[in-house]
């Protein structure tokens, strides 16, 4: 798992790493340039145009000059466009200028003619995480001009103009790809910045994560290779009971489809037994749609303790009797999952949050979270609010969207890397509820259930979008859940 640290801490990290290993800051920049070059070779070598490296005065600019050298040595036609004379630039920038082969065109910005073709590549190395004020003057003019230019655009570490941990003030470079070093900078995960970042790629520059953990506070980035360790192992003697008995509550008249999706997703995620509690009139639809599911009557609602996990909310409607809802929360003493109308009902009377069992998992999308916790001005504030909400109520708060975040009762935040925009389709959230409730019922710790559910839901979305793109519907995501176990090599 990658730790996400603040821009200020990156400087301390670099200094400590250099001190501990004896390598020079130039070596670290060289590692960054080589890591970028390897990425470029795998993704861009087929692009035959010229490369224009726009190089600012700091170490991001220095990275650009080192990259220009590697690209030129590999046979590319490279120009470096610089803004400041080297006396005003960082030490490693100057060292790299001295190492540039003579075949690289070195052009001051005032002499550059902006003759860039569609097939050319612009590398944005103007500012990295050292940006400390909004863009102005020639930097702003150049970036605005580049934003209007048709060509391939790649930002190094972060699109120039965006601060590492805050919301952008003013303008920034608009990239098709951002290749970021070591870990994604927090602000790359904000929806406000999606028009600037393009696709985000993380490349390793050789600082081991255990070293970074000395600096990290509370934020992690979840990647595919991290997921296996959150999974439980089952053996050939495991029986239906080991895979858990869960109860999903929701499905009012006309909205039983939500429960069809949740319950089917839970079965596809591995649940041994799935019961649902839905409006009496919808029984027939439910049993026809998913014959493997048991439709619970009032008796079973009385005996909640027999269930290993509950999932409350999909398609429930907001007309539910709040005292009935509270009685479920009060009588169940294990962590449960609350989504959709289960959350909207809590927003109606937030004092009922005290009945939610500790360690439960709440899965709001942005609007549901706003109803629960109030208005925010931007995603940065939303993430802070999610963190304090989880701390205050002792729950896991899964804030859904691109880079879904999981805030824990001890103040940590995990950011998901799987998924795509095609998951934004009716019922997709109901599928996630079924998946998380299923893992919880299989005996996973709440954090592990949330992580595995969120990651595999996203992965199922990616896999199903390969041949369906915007045609993905929630049922396709469910059908692809089993393939995610195979893809991740989980038994
Ligand atoms: N561990 C890492 O992450 C590493 C990072 N490196 C690179 O180093 C970068 C950070 O380098 P720096 O700290 O030098 O930061 P920058 O390269 O972002 O540049 C900061 C410089 O620009 C000036 N500046 C800031 N905002 C400005 C504005 N709006 N207008 C005009 N001037 C402005 C500052 O006064 C400072 O001189 C990273 O983004 C990355 O590209 C690599 O070189 C090596 C390892
Ligand atoms: N752009 C996106 N990138 C990644 N995941 C997304 C994106 N948009 C939506 N999702 C995911 O799709 C699901 C949508 O859930 P939700 O909003 O509750 O939908 P519904 O109410 O239709 O079931 C969430 O898991 C969310 O994280
Ligand atoms: K940059």
Q: Are residues 239 and 175 in the same domain?
A: no
Q: According to the model, what pLDDT value does residue 298 have? A: 66
Q: Are residues 336 and 473 in the same domain?
A: yes
What mean pLDDT do residues 78-89 have?
88
The binding site for AMP comprises 400-404, 429
- For residue 415, give the ligand nearest its CA: 2
Please give all residues whose beta carbon lies within 6 A of any atom in ligand 1, as ranges.
10, 14, 28-29, 32, 56-63, 90, 127-133, 135, 139, 156-157, 181-182, 205
Q: Is 368 in the pocket of ligand 2 (CB under 6 A)?
A: no
- For residue 204, give the ligand nearest its CA: 1
- Could you give phi then psi for residue 38, rounded to 5 degrees? -60, -40
Q: Are residues 405 and 337 in the same domain?
A: yes
In this structure, how many other beta carbons lie within 10 angstroms of the beta carbon of residue 74?
A: 12
Q: Is the pLDDT confidence value at 64 over 80?
A: yes
Q: Are residues 330 and 210 in the same domain?
A: no
Q: Is 255 in the pocket of ligand 2 (CB under 6 A)?
A: no
- Contacts of residue 165, defined as CB under 8 A and 6 or more positions apart, other chains included, come to 6, 7, 185, 186, 187, 380
What domain range includes position 147?
Answer: 2-217
pTM (predicted TM-score): 0.96
In a domain, 348, yes or no: yes
Residue where one domain finishes, among candidates 185, 217, 249: 217
Q: Is 76 in the pocket of ligand 2 (CB under 6 A)?
A: no
Ion ligand 3 — residues with CB < 5 Å: 60, 124, 155-156, 160
Ligand 1 atom 3 nearest Cα: 181
Ligand 1 atom 27 nearest Cα: 131
Residue where one domain finishes, among candidates 159, 190, 217: 217
When mean pLDDT is compared across 40-44, 187-191, 234-238, 476-480, the lowest value belongs to 234-238
The Å distance, Cα 309 to ligand 3 centre, comes to 46
Q: Is the pLDDT confidence value at 217 over 90?
A: no
Q: According to the model, what pLDDT value does residue 241 have? A: 81
Q: What is the 3-state secondary structure (H, E, C) of 269-285?
A: HCCCEEEEECCHHHHHH
In a domain, 222, yes or no: no
Give the C-alpha separation, 277 to 30, whole Å. Answer: 60
Ligand 2 atom 5 nearest Cα: 402
DSSP letters, 18-75, are HHHH---HHHHHHHHHHHHHHHHHHHHTT--S-EEEEE-SSHHHHHHHHHHHHHHHTT
The binding site for (6S)-NADPHX comprises 59-63, 128-134, 139, 157, 258, 315, 365, 430
- Provide, rounded to the nearest whole percent, the portion of the chain with pLDDT above 90: 88
Q: Is 424 in the pocket of ligand 2 (CB under 6 A)?
A: yes
Give the C-alpha separation, 77 to 56, whole Å. Answer: 20
Ligand 1 atom 42 nearest Cα: 29
In a domain, 280, yes or no: yes
């Amino acid at each position: 798992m990658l730790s996400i640290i603040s821009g200020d801490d990156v400087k301390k990290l670099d200094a400590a790493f250099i001190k501990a290993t004896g390598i020079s800051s130039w070596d670290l920049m060289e590692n960054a340039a080589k890591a970028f070059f390897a990425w470029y070779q795998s993704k861009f070598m087929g692009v035959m145009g010229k490369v224009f490296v726009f190089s600012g005065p700091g170490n991001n600019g220095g990275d650009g000059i080192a990259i220009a050298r590697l690209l030129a040595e590999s046979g590319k036609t490279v120009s470096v466009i610089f803004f400041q004379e080297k006396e005003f630039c960082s030490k490693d920038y100057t060292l790299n200028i001295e190492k540039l082969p003579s075949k690289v065109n070195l052009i001051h910005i005032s002499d550059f003619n902006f003759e860039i073709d569609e097939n050319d590549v612009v590398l944005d190395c103007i500012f990295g995480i050292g940006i400390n004020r909004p863009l102005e003057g020639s930097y702003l003019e150049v970036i605005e001009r580049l934003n209007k230019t048709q060509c391939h655009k790649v930002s190094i570490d972060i699109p120039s103009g965006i601060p590492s941990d805050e919301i952008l003030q003013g303008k920034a470079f608009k990239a098709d790809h951002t290749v970021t070093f070591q870990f994604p900078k927090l602000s790359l995960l904000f929806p406000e910045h999606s028009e600037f970042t393009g696709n985000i790629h993380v490349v390793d520059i050789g600082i081991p994560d255990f070293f970074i953990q000395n600096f990290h506070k509370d934020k992690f980035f979840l990647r595919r290779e991290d997921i296996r360790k959150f999974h439980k192992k089952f053996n050939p003697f495991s029986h239906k009971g080991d895979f858990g008995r869960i109860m999903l509550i929701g499905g009012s008249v006309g909205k039983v489809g939500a429960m069809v999706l949740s319950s089917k997703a839970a079965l596809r995620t591995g649940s041994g037994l799935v019961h649902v509690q839905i409006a009496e009139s919808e029984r027939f639809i439910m049993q026809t749609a998913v014959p493997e599911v048991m439709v619970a009557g009032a008796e079973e609602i009385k005996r909640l303790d027999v269930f290993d996990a509950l999932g409350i909310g999909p398609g429930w409607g907001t007309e539910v009797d709040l005292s009935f809802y509270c009685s479920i929360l009060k009588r169940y003493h294990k962590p449960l999952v609350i989504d959709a109308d289960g959350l909207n009902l809590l927003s109606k009377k937030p004092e009922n949050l005290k009945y939610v069992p500790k360690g439960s998992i709440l899965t709001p999308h942005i609007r549901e979270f706003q109803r629960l916790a109030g208005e925010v001005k931007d995603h940065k504030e939303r993430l802070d609010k999610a963190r304090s909400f989880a701390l205050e109520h002792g729950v896991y708060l899964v804030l859904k969207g691109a880079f879904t975040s999981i805030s824990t009762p001890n103040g940590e935040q995990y950011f998901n890397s799987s998924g795509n925009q095609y998951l934004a389709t009716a019922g997709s959230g109901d599928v996630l509820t079924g998946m998380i409730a299923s893992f919880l019922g299989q005996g996973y710790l709440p954090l592990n259930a949330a992580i595995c559910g969120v990651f595999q839901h996203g992965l199922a979305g990616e896999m199903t979008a390969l041949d369906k793109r915007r045609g993905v519907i929630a049922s396709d995501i469910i059908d692809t859940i089993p393939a995610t176990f195979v893809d991740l090599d989980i038994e």
